[in-house]
Amino acid sequence: MAEMDQLITGPLAEALKRGRERFNTKFAYARHTYPALDAAVFADHLRFVVQPIATAAHAARADKIDEAVDALYDLSLELVGKGLLGEQTRYPAMLRGWTDLFPSLAHLLANDARRFAGAVTNALYNLSVTPSARPTFWIDVMKDIGSGCSDVESFLEAGKAVAWRSGMAHYRTGALEACLNLDAQIARLALAIPDTNTVAIETIVERLRRDPWLSPATVSESAGWKKTLKMMNPPVGAFRGFGGVFTAPPEVALSDGELIVFDNENCWLMTADLFGSTLHRIGNTLPNIDAKPQRFFEIDKSGRVTAEQHRTAFPQLAGCASSASTETTLAVTIPVSHSVYLIALTEN
C-alpha cells in the first residue's frame, strides 16, 4: 500500500489512508486467492480507473465515500486478480463501463456503490461473452438513461430492457416485465420509443409480448399493419472453426414448445427476436421432442414458405435438412450450412 499511496491523491487517497490496515489485509488475502495479482498493475488500476470514480462519487455524496471506496476496492481485487480488468483485459467494454459509466453516474454509484458497481460489471461481462451482443451500445444508452434516474433500482430495471435490445434475446420476458414497473418515461427511453408515439406503455408491452419481431418504436394502437414473410438476418450460429458453436450442420426441432438446435455433439435452446439471438447449451443428449407439434409455418422442398395466407419463396432454403416453428418463427437448416435460418411474419 505504501507504493500505491505515492501515486494516488484526492478522496481515494484519503479513504485508503483511513482504512489502511483493512485494505492491506484485503490485498494480502487477494494475493493468495489470485496468485497472478500484480501490485503494480493493481496500483495503476486504482490510480487511473478508481481514482476518477472516487473523485466523482465524493462530489456527489461526500458522506458515502468510504463505503464507495470499500466496494470499488473489493470488486477491483477480484476483477484485476482474474484478469477481467487491467492492461490485458479480454473485455474492453467492462473497462469502459468503469472509466466512462461509473464517473458519469456517480450520483447513483455513491448511493449504493456495492450494488451499482457489481450489477453493472456483471451486466457488461454477460454482454461481453455473448456472441453478437453489443455491450458498448448498452453503455451508451444507459449513460443517457442513468442521468435521469434518481435511484439504483430504476436504473437496473431499465438496464434489463436495454440489455434485451443489446442482443440478449433470452432477457425478453424479464425486460418487458421490468418496463411495466418503471416510470413510464424511463420505460419509453429504455425501449427507444419516440416522443411522437403516444401509445400507452402497457399497450406497447402487450404487443411486444405477442410478437418478438415487432419494433417497440413502431407499435401502434392496433395490429392492423400488413405482414410479410421475411428472412431475419443474420442467421444463427456458425461452424466452430470459424468462431461458432456447431461441429456439423445442425438440425432443429421443437421441445415443450421451444426451439432446440442440435449437431452431432451438443444441444442448445435457441432464443431469437428482432434484437438478436442466443444459444444456450443444454447438454449432449437430445431432449424429448414434441411428437406432433402444431405447424404454424410450412416449407416445401423448393424453399417456399407458407404461413396463414402468406406465401414466399426462399430458394436458398431449398432441400432443407430440418425445420421447426413456433407461432411466430420458423427455424430452418440446410445440409450445406452450419447456421440456422429464421423466417418470421413481420409487420411492414
Work out whether the CA dihedral 46, 50, 54, 55 comes out positive or negative: positive
CA atoms within 13 A on the CB side of 105: 29
- What is the overall mean pLDDT for the chain? 93
Query: Which residue has 474492453 as its cell numbers?
Result: 92
Please say if the pLDDT value at position 4 is more than 80: no
The pLDDT tens digits for 19-38 are 999 999 999 999 999 998 99
If you average pLDDT over residues 150-162, what whole number do you get?
A: 97
pLDDT confidence of residue 173: 96
Work out whether the CA dihedral 44, 49, 53, 55 comes out positive or negative: positive
Distance CA 251, CA 237 (A): 12
CB 85 within 8 A of CB 79: yes
If you average pLDDT over residues 154-159, what whole number do you get?
A: 98
Domains of the chain, residue spans:
2-210, 227-347
The long-range contacts involving 276-280, CB below 8 angstroms and separated by at least 24 positions, are 276/132, 276/133, 276/166, 276/167, 276/168, 276/169, 277/132, 277/169, 277/236, 277/342, 278/130, 278/133, 278/167, 278/168, 278/169, 278/170, 279/236, 279/237, 279/245, 280/170
Residue 251 class from Cβ within 10 Å (0-12 exposed, 13-18 middle, 19+ buried)?
buried
Q: What is the band of 225 on the pLDDT scale with cuts at 50, 70, 90?
A: low
CB 15 within 8 A of CB 69: yes
Q: What is the band of 290 on the pLDDT scale with cuts at 50, 70, 90?
A: confident
CB 228 within 8 A of CB 310: yes
If you average pLDDT over residues 49-76, what whole number do you get?
A: 98
If you average pLDDT over residues 293-300, what whole number do you get?
A: 92
Q: What is the band of 2 on the pLDDT scale with cuts at 50, 70, 90?
A: very low
The residue among 41, 61, 54, 48 whose CA lies nearest residue 14 is 54
Cβ-proximal residues to 275 (8 Å cutoff; 6+ apart), any chain: 164, 165, 166, 167, 168, 169
pLDDT confidence of residue 223: 56
Q: What is the band of 158 on the pLDDT scale with cuts at 50, 70, 90?
A: very high
Q: What is the band of 205 on the pLDDT scale with cuts at 50, 70, 90?
A: very high
The residue among 312, 165, 328 whose CA lies nearest residue 230 is 312
pLDDT confidence of residue 222: 60
pLDDT confidence of residue 81: 95
Query: Which residue has 411474419 as its cell numbers?
Result: 345
Please say if the pLDDT value at position 282 is more than 80: yes
CA atoms within 13 A on the CB side of 24: 9
How many residues does this entry show for the chain? 348
Task: Name the pTM for this structure.
Answer: 0.92
Distance CA 78, CA 30 (A): 8
